[in-house]
Amino acid sequence: MPESASNLTARPLAPPFDSLVGQSTAAHFLTAVMQSNSPGHAYLFSGPLGSGKTEAARAFGRALLCDNGGTDDCDTCRRVAHATHPDFHVIAPAGVRGYVIEQIQEIISSAGMTPVRARRKVFLLTRADLLAGAAANALLKTLEEPPPDTVFILLARNRDAVLETIVSRCQVLPFRRIPEDEALATLSEKIGVSSEEARIALSATGGSLLYAEEFWRSRERRNLRVAMLEALERLSHADDASVLEAAKELVIKMKAPLDVVKREQELQLEQGRDFLSAGNLSRLEQQLRREFSGRERETIGEILEVTRSWIRDVMVTLMPTGTQRPVNVDFIANIQRTAERVQMPRCTRALAAVDEAARQIQYNVSLQLALEVMLFSIRTELFTIQDREM
């Protein structure tokens, strides 16, 4: 570990670490790693959702792969930032319960090869807490004797949830939760929106600054949020046929942001054909396919998160004034109307219906069916007139 923390924080930060919001210890640590000119083989970034781990990992990846240490904004820097550099591998668990052994075998095989364009290869594994069993064992061997010029960056929300054998082979870098005010101020300045709009973006993406920024920049994703909220708004007077229709429409509207991803991927493959060997090209294709299903999961997660935040807004409205404020201020009239007719336990059950939908989708129930069941449950809980109960 380079120098003591107090020495580290005295230095000014340079790109690409100067942009890491609220994480100056991590930023200084990574700057020192790069200045030492001999990065380690494996790092574990641990911290809650929204603490900026992914942003830091991308910045570190830039620094490791760019010839100028990520200080310029060259093609390499941009490709790493968009996770499209052939030596920057971003891997997320492919199985319902976590990483599958084939993924790790693929990592080991790519790690054994020479880099495609840069002087190193970087493997970024999200959710290292979902590494277990055969997949974890296979990775352990590689972490023990890593191929030269290879750096592993593992991400986890909680260091204690990662197998101790894996943690012990990594340099652990803790990230703290960025306070909401700081996150809101940063986001609204970065994308030029009001604090209320920044709150909407943060809430739709579960509190992650990076994802919130991407969310706000995507017109398609913002439209999908509005479509979800409109579907919830219409539930108060929807008959069964309209509920089914609403679920169907949401599934169709989800395609718009994913079509954008598809177009970006096609472009990436097009560029890949210019400089990748057949083997690397097919690996890129596989990687993109996985990335696409990841984006699909994210998009689904986003509409469920929007639904949760709308229900929470109703709950906030039920609480004594001043404790908290609703997030979805653009739907405030509807939220207030809904709050007038419900009681807290029913909201809690509506929230449980969203969690149940998430579980069903994870276990491969069709999205449309899961949304239908969820919308019916929310309608029952929030919009069916009940006798005095509870």
Instruction: Kindly list the residues in this chain that would bind Zn ion in the complex (CB under 5 A).
Output: 66, 72, 74, 76-77
The residue among 117 and 127 lying less far from Zn ion, judged by its C-beta, is 117
Name the residue with the smallest CB distance to Zn ion: 66
Q: How far is the CB of 73 from Zn ion (least distance, A)?
A: 7
Q: Give 67 or 340: the residue with its C-beta nearer to Zn ion.
A: 67
> At 287, phi and psi to the nearest 5?
-60, -45
Q: Least distance (Å) from Zn ion to the CB of residue 81?
A: 10
Closer CB to Zn ion, 72 or 196, in the complex: 72
Q: Is 2 exposed, middle or buried (0-12, 13-18, 19+ CB in 10 A)?
A: middle
Task: Give the separation between CA 152 and CA 138, rounded to whole angstroms.
Answer: 14
Distance CA 64, CA 16 (A): 11
Least distance in Å: CB of 252 to Zn ion? 40
Least distance to Zn ion, CB of residue 242, Å: 52
30 vs 139 by CB, closer to Zn ion: 30
Contact 147, 112 (CB under 8 A): yes
Least distance to Zn ion from the beta carbon of 78, Å?
Answer: 8
User: How far apart, in Å, do the first and last CA atoms of the chain sit?
Assistant: 57
Nearer to Zn ion, 76 or 142 (CB): 76
Q: How far is the CB of 72 from Zn ion (least distance, A)?
A: 4
Is residue 77 classed as helix, strand or coil in its secondary structure? helix
CA distances from 210 to 48, 170, 343 (A): 13, 24, 35
Distance CA 200, CA 330 (A): 9
Q: Is 162 exposed, middle or buried (0-12, 13-18, 19+ CB in 10 A)?
A: buried
Q: Which CB atom, from 66 or from 111, has the smaller least distance to Zn ion?
A: 66
